Chain A
Amino acid sequence: MQRTTSSGALAGARFVDPVVLARIGNLELVARSVVNGFINGLHRSPYFGASVDFAEHRGYTPGDDIRRVDWRLFARTDRFYVKEYEADSNANFAVLLDASKSMGFGSRGITKLEYGKLLAGCLTYLVHRQRDRVGLVVFDDAIVEHVPPSAKHMDVVLHVLDRVAPRRPGRLGPPLKALAEHFSRRGLLVLISDLYEDPQDVLEAISPLRFRGHDLIVFHVLDPAEIEFTYDDASAFEDLETGEQIPVVPEALAEQYRTLVREHTEALAAKCAELRVDYTLVNTSTPLDLVLFNYLSARERLTRVR
């Protein structure tokens, strides 16, 4: 029997193998279990940046809300000053989830898309607890689903996530370009994809988002089989997206393949670093907890540099 904490989290859920989590159909339950367990595990939670702490005074300029004028200071100085606060408003947060056909691949019980959905669900839940606005964009070679960021959209996001299925081949460029034009308000964007494109193309696809001032975190989700290439028999390999087949003798290719994948991820990491985008390679056998930690540290770093 599972022990539940007072906040409703399943104890130890964060350490659970994603395959097991994926079997729990209810995305909200999984998200709550993982996130609450994770948060309860920390002694303090110094990473939550959303505060209403006073930051500084600024001279009043016409157009400022007069309710924000510090009248006490006015009494002392006979001048108008406006109070400014740290973490002034609720941030926009949106997950950009790749639902191309290649994301439907999974060698050990959980597909990359299912993992991405769990990850997206947990992040959304976490952010929603902070009263930030949550949104979701699902894309393949075009935008498939779009839930605009809102404080009320938690349920919608989880519902849409639940229905996402891999259907078409994917491309990063066009949907992200459209998004960059659409997301006018700055926010935190999390891209979850398997990034099967040339690193330069990936860079060109995500840079408009970055240039618009969004904070971008990239989770590069790969299956263990894609990273380690653990195949033995000579077979015809069929591309999940194009349907193209080529005969492959794994023993002859495995080493070269692993090198190519490593080069690819390194190139991606380097390119993202150039853009000051957080890049994380996620193996779908990794517990979600690690990924969440990465997210939170990024968020904390963000509030500090501001």
Chain B
Amino acid sequence: MMGFVAPLVLTGLAALAVPIVIHLIQREKNRIVEFPSLMFLRRIPYKSVKRRKIRHLALLLLRLTALALIVFAFARPFFRRDSLAAATQNGAREVAILLDTSYSMGYADRWTRARDAARDAIQKLGPGDRASLILFADGANAAVRSSTNRSELSSALAAASPGAGATRFAPALKLAGSLLAESALPRREILLISDFQRRGWDSSPGKDDVRLPDRTVVTPIAITSAGRPNVTVMPATLQRTRFENQDRIVVSAGVVNHDRAPAHVAVVLEMNGRAIQTQAVEVGANGSSSVTFAPVTVASRNMRGALRIGDDGLARDNVSYFVASPLEPVHLAVVDRAAAERESFYVARALAIGEQPRVDVVTRTPETIADGDLQPGAVIVLNDVAVSEALAARLQRFVSDGGGLFVAAGPHASWPQQSKDLIPAVPSGIVDRSTGAPLRLGALEYSHPVFEIFRAPRSGDFSSPRFYAYRAVDPPDVHALARFDDGAPALLEKRTGGGRVLVWTSTLDLGWTDLPVKPVFLPFLQSAVKYLANFAERPASAIVGQVVPVPAPRRPNSRAQGETVAIAPSGAHVSLAGEDGALELTEQGFYDVRTAGAPADASVVLASNVDPNEADLTPIDPKELIAAITGRVGAAQAVAGPRPTAEAQAEAQRIWWYLLVAAGLLLTAETLLSNRLSRA
């Protein structure tokens, strides 16, 4: 194989154009006349001018060859020999053994074979070789980092087992790349032991960022098997209904068959460990069907449900867990002036018919607000009342603990100046618009959760309610979620601590507006309460690998929080920092989140399922994967080893000297020839 020490010098070959140009420059010097068509001129025979040709072709060739040889000589060509390349194969290796521990490795005998392959690789390590053992599924974890100790590697391998995660190649390859990049050893290798599921690469986040050090050899070991057919039960979906004052759920789930033959599957629904219903379902080849069970009453909190199908080659995807709890109603107190029931009529009625969430409405006066009304998660609606300093202080505490406050500023509303930090703006003077054209709502912030349900066209007409008066606010230039068409704020928001405050600058009865009898009133008020109560239904289950926020169970009548711990299905304890910690799910089953000091029934249970996509065992061709990582097809990449010695290099490059001699000879011949031609 030929190469050049100074390949840039080859651009000098452009100099070859010089003699050619000199030859041609003596051609037509006449001016050129552009003419539309030579159709007629061509027909006229002419003899006038003879085209000049390149004369003395031999002379030109001699000059060109000589120039080319000189350029090549300066580019210092050399011949690369295979013996040189072969010499680079020796040297100590840095090996990264990547072992797939996703749950699909538990299919049939895959894990045994994968572990044997890894053990084999460890035993083949040379005396100077270093190896790392990286276990990967959703994420990658270096069990052993760059070690020469084989027994350490073997014991780490023996301790490994397939988990509940899904295959993702990119994190493992990135980790291996960084480990290899740190190594000073001359040869770098990656041994990738996996069942090479297509989804592991196709849906791997960050797969475009995988960078391996130069000359890394990637060797795939594919662990595939033609095992028994595999059927997967998908995560359950729950549909809530209410019957006889009790929550009921309708459980349904999909069943996917990854086999080429149809499958008959019996799906068992278990609640709190007891099988209560069974449904038979037929799933076509490479198809899916769904099963729906009869409604189940949710009698208590954290009911643990599971859907199971019969055993097949892959056990983990044969069960799908979920958690069901009765929906807890939102406690809402409507506070108005004593004996002013008429004012709260619309509010109480509008909220009493809420389903998700249900709202327990109680009516209070400013004096009769109980401590029970001020629990975190509750909502207080101040319907046109004058707030005393004492009440403002209580409300301040309530909101910062996570409560929701709705202030409707009618003609009687007032707010103490000392506590004005709690609300976005203090209601000030009354603006009367009872004469002339009534006001309407002009601008709504549809991206806000309160108005989001009205965002789509024909989802509620906020321009129809008319307003005859409103309260101006201080300061007037505050950010508003809704404004009247004269620009004055209609709805204001402020977040304090964990709670939220909304201020409505008109009334919630027919005193100042006809909004309560318009269709948008009901959804608007329910949406506002849902937002203030921070209501969100917990998902029935999550997928292993997800990081889910966990609200810590509360201790009653106590503002202090004890330590919150999640008990994993395996029994391991995971400590959650902070009040609303986040929990990364790593196992399949139920996580029990408890807080020290909180009652047992206040715990939170999370259901964690394996990624159903992992059950699709369709493999990717390892060559395709390696081509995607390295940009080259095949297991091995080009390897360049230790530099050859200076003598060997000089020997390999000596050819330039011969080229120069040949060029000199040619130039001499050219001189002789041109002399003879010019004499002739």
Contacts and interface: CB of A to CB of B under 8 A. Distances in A.
A260 interface: yes
B678 interface: no
B31 interface: yes
A235 B44 CA distance: 15
B326 to A, nearest CB: 70
Given A235-B30, A236-B28, A247 B37 contact: no
22 contacts: A105-B36, A194-B37, A197-B39, A237-B38, A238-B32, A239-B35, A239-B36, A240-B37, A241-B37, A245-B28, A245-B32, A246-B42, A247-B28, A247-B48, A247-B49, A248-B33, A248-B41, A248-B46, A248-B48, A252-B48, A257-B40, A260-B43
B34 interface: yes
Interface string B49-67: 1010000000000000000
A24 interface: no
Range of interface residues on A (Cβ < 8 Å): 35 or more
Interface string B4-34: 0000000000000000000000001011111
B51 to A, nearest CB: 8
A15 B364 CA distance: 99
Range of interface residues on B (Cβ < 8 Å): 20 to 34
A258 B389 CA distance: 112
A104 to B, nearest CB: 8
B46 A226 contact: no
A3 B523 CA distance: 74
Given A236-B31, A248-B46, A194 B36 contact: yes
Interface string A96-112: 00000111110000001
The secondary-structure label for the interface of chain B is loop
A233 B31 contact: yes
User: B33, B36, B39, B46 — which one has the most chain A CB atoms within 10 A of its CB?
Assistant: B36
Interface of B: 28, 30-44, 46, 48-49, 51
Contacts of A196: 36-37, 39
A245 B27 CA distance: 13
Contact of A260 (B30, B32, B34, B40): B40
A82 B63 CA distance: 92
A236 B37 contact: no
B37 A257 contact: no
Contacts of A264: 40
Nearest to A257: B40
A302 interface: no
Contacts of A238: 32-35
Given A233-B31, A235-B31, A236-B28, A261 B40 contact: yes
Given A226-B36, A241-B36, A247-B51, 18 more contacts: A101-B36, A102-B36, A194-B37, A196-B36, A226-B35, A235-B33, A236-B32, A237-B38, A238-B33, A238-B35, A239-B35, A240-B35, A247-B28, A248-B46, A252-B48, A257-B40, A257-B41, A257-B44
Contact of A246 (B31, B34, B36, B46): B46
Interface in A215-272: 223, 226, 231, 233-242, 244-249, 252-253, 256-257, 260-261, 264
Nearest to B35: A237
B31 A105 contact: no
Contacts of B35: 105, 226, 237-240
Nearest to A223: B36
Contacts of A246: 38, 41-42, 46
Contacts of A237: 32-35, 38, 41
Contacts of A105: 34-36
Contacts of A226: 35-36
Nearest to A244: B38
Interface string A277-289: 0000000000000
